[in-house]
């Protein structure tokens, strides 16, 4: 286990501006690169470096999710400066656009210059009917990152999401009427597939990362899909963030603070739900549920259903609580679709069954 130690940046000759590459230019990224590719601009500190130094302890070696874009490039450079020889880059090749192979070539070139091992993992990120393409790609990406980290013996994976990404996440949550879990935004760390993921850049703006990188002799790419306003995140980035910056210059800091408050409140609600579940029992006893206040009952039911891998809509949860309240006689039945299955009454308790099969009768 190791925390990041501050490392001095040696003075170097003033470098030429960074090689920001379009997809068309990316194919030739290895040619014509500055000879001082491993040098950093003098008197220049990578904004990602203090964020990594603030991390308590990480199990090394560790991976960096590396797309080739500005944010993950700055993160990769800071991590390789923090932990020389202990970093491995993981590039996920979705195969969703023609420029994807060019992105790989840029990643290979930068990693070769830095002597960072690179894993290129191809994933099938197609989405099912009715499924969000962004959600499908995200699930495939995390599964591939976790799988590669496990196979490579990595202690975790660093992600390059930054303060702007956090704001976009909060605005998306607000637009969908999300509760505290959504308003908590992206967690600084989480576990998925048995692997720990870390987001050390959530307090750092995209412009500071990009501005620093533009002064370095390091190639990076701009993904053209980031300009496609058919995607909600891109519309937020292009239209709302500039307006927020003009009206509320400190919005990144204040939004992040609100997300932390929401996360703390959600953690408290989870503790309450776990305690109430011990009281109500598994499966939940209907009479004990009825004795809880409406907010605690809703909190407990939401937690219980999540344990069944079911996420109720607000309308489904409201209807379930109405049926529980009305369940005062032995013959009263409960059968309600929730998530991908059904909640039903079985004797004196609630039962959840995934799928559309018949629920047990009383």
Residue appearing with tokens 């490039």: 73
What is the β-pairing status of strands 195-198 and 189-192?
A: antiparallel
- What is the per-residue pLDDT for 136? 75
164 neighbors 172 (Cβ within 8 angstroms): no
Residues contacting residue 75 through CB under 8 Å, at least 6 positions apart: 48, 64, 66, 158, 159, 160, 200, 201
**Displacement of CA 57 from its chain's centroid (Å):** 20
- What is the per-residue pLDDT for 124? 76
Structural domain includes residue 79: yes
Indicate the residue among 237, 254, 271 that finishes a domain: 254
Q: Are 304 and 341 part of one and the same domain?
A: yes
What does the angle CA 123 – CA 178 – CA 188 come to, to the nearest 5 degrees? 55
Q: Are 295 and 156 part of one and the same domain?
A: no
Q: Are 288 and 230 part of one and the same domain?
A: no
* pLDDT tens sequence for the chain (362 residues): 445 643 323 222 233 333 444 434 443 433 223 333 355 665 589 999 999 999 988 899 999 999 999 999 999 999 999 999 999 999 998 766 667 788 999 999 999 999 999 999 988 766 556 556 677 778 889 999 999 999 999 999 999 999 999 999 999 999 999 999 999 999 999 999 999 999 999 999 999 999 999 999 999 998 877 788 888 889 999 999 999 999 999 999 999 999 999 999 999 999 999 999 999 999 999 999 999 999 999 999 999 999 999 989 999 999 999 999 999 888 889 999 998 899 999 999 999 999 754 433 33
Over the stretch 70-89, which tens digit does the pLDDT of each residue have? 999 999 999 999 999 999 99
Q: Are 290 and 144 part of one and the same domain?
A: no
Q: Are 233 and 291 part of one and the same domain?
A: no
Total domains in the chain come to 2
Task: Look at the pTM and tell me if it is higher than 0.75.
Answer: yes
- What is the per-residue pLDDT for 360? 38
Q: Are 62 and 206 part of one and the same domain?
A: yes
Q: How far is CA 347 from CA 194, 269, 318, in A?
A: 37, 29, 22
The secondary element (H helix, E strand) that includes residue 213 is helix 206-214
Residue 73 buriedness (CB in 10 A; 0-12 / 13-18 / 19+): buried
- What is the per-residue pLDDT for 340? 86
26 neighbors 103 (Cβ within 8 angstroms): yes
Q: Are 186 and 225 part of one and the same domain?
A: yes
Structural domain includes residue 263: no
Give all strands (DSSP E) within the chain, no chain letters: 20-21, 62-65, 87-93, 118-122, 157-158, 189-192, 195-198, 220-221, 335-338, 341-346, 349-354
Q: Are 133 and 46 part of one and the same domain?
A: yes
Q: Residue 343's domain spans which residues? A: 281-354
Q: Are 36 and 183 part of one and the same domain?
A: yes
Q: Phi, psi at residue 195, to the nearest 5°? A: -125, 140
Structural domain includes residue 158: yes
**Which CATH number covers residue 184?**
3.40.50.620
Q: Are 235 and 290 part of one and the same domain?
A: no
Q: Are 285 and 235 part of one and the same domain?
A: no
* C-alpha to C-alpha distance for 155 and 89, rounded to whole angstroms: 13
140: which DSSP letter? H
**Which CATH number covers residue 324?**
1.20.59
226 neighbors 236 (Cβ within 8 angstroms): no
Query: 9, 74, 85, 69: which is closest to 48 by C-alpha?
Result: 74
> In the Cβ-directed half-sphere of 301, how many Cα atoms lie within 13 Å?
31
Q: Are 72 and 191 part of one and the same domain?
A: yes
Beta bridge partners of 197: 157, 190
Structural domain includes residue 266: no
Structural domain includes residue 362: no
Structural domain includes residue 221: yes
């Amino acid at each position: 286990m190791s925390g990041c130690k501050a490392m001095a940046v040696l003075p170097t000759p003033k470098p030429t501006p960074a090689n920001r590459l379009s997809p068309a230019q990316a194919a030739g990224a290895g040619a014509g690169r500055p000879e001082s590719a491993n040098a950093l601009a003098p008197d220049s500190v990578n904004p990602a470096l203090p964020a990594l130094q603030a991390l308590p302890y990480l199990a090394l070696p560790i991976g960096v999710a590396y797309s080739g874009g500005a944010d993950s490039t700055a993160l990769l450079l800071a991590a390789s400066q923090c932990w020389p020889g202990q970093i491995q880059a993981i590039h996920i090749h979705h195969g969703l656009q023609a420029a994807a192979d060019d992105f790989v070539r840029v990643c290979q070139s930068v990693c070769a210059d830095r002597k960072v091992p690179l894993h290129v993992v191809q994933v099938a990120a197609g989405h099912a009917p009715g499924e969000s393409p962004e959600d499908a790609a995200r699930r495939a990406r995390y599964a591939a990152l976790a799988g590669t980290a496990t196979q490579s013996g990595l202690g975790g994976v660093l992600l390059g999401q930054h303060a702007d990404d956090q704001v976009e996440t909060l605005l998306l949550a607000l637009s969908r009427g999300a509760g505290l879990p959504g308003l908590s935004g992206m967690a600084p760390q989480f576990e998925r597939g048995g692997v720990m993921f870390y987001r050390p850049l959530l307090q750092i703006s995209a412009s500071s990362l990009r501005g620093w990188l533009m002064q370095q002799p390091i190639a990076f790419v701009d993904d053209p899909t980031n300009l496609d306003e058919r995607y909600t995140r891109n519309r937020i980035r292009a239209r709302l963030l500039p307006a927020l910056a003009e009206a509320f210059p400190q919005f990144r800091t204040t939004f992040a603070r609100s997300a932390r408050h929401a996360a703390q409140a959600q953690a408290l609600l989870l503790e309450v739900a776990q305690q109430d579940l011990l009281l109500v029992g598994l499966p939940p006893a209907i009479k004990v549920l009825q004795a809880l206040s409406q907010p605690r009952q809703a909190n407990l039911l939401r937690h219980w259903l999540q344990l069944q891998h079911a996420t109720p809509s607000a309308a489904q949860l409201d209807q379930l609580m109405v049926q529980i309240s009305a369940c005062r006689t032995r013959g009263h039945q409960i059968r309600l679709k929730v998530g991908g299955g059904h909640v039903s009454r079985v004797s004196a308790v609630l039962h959840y069954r995934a799928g559309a099969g018949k629920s047990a009768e009383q």
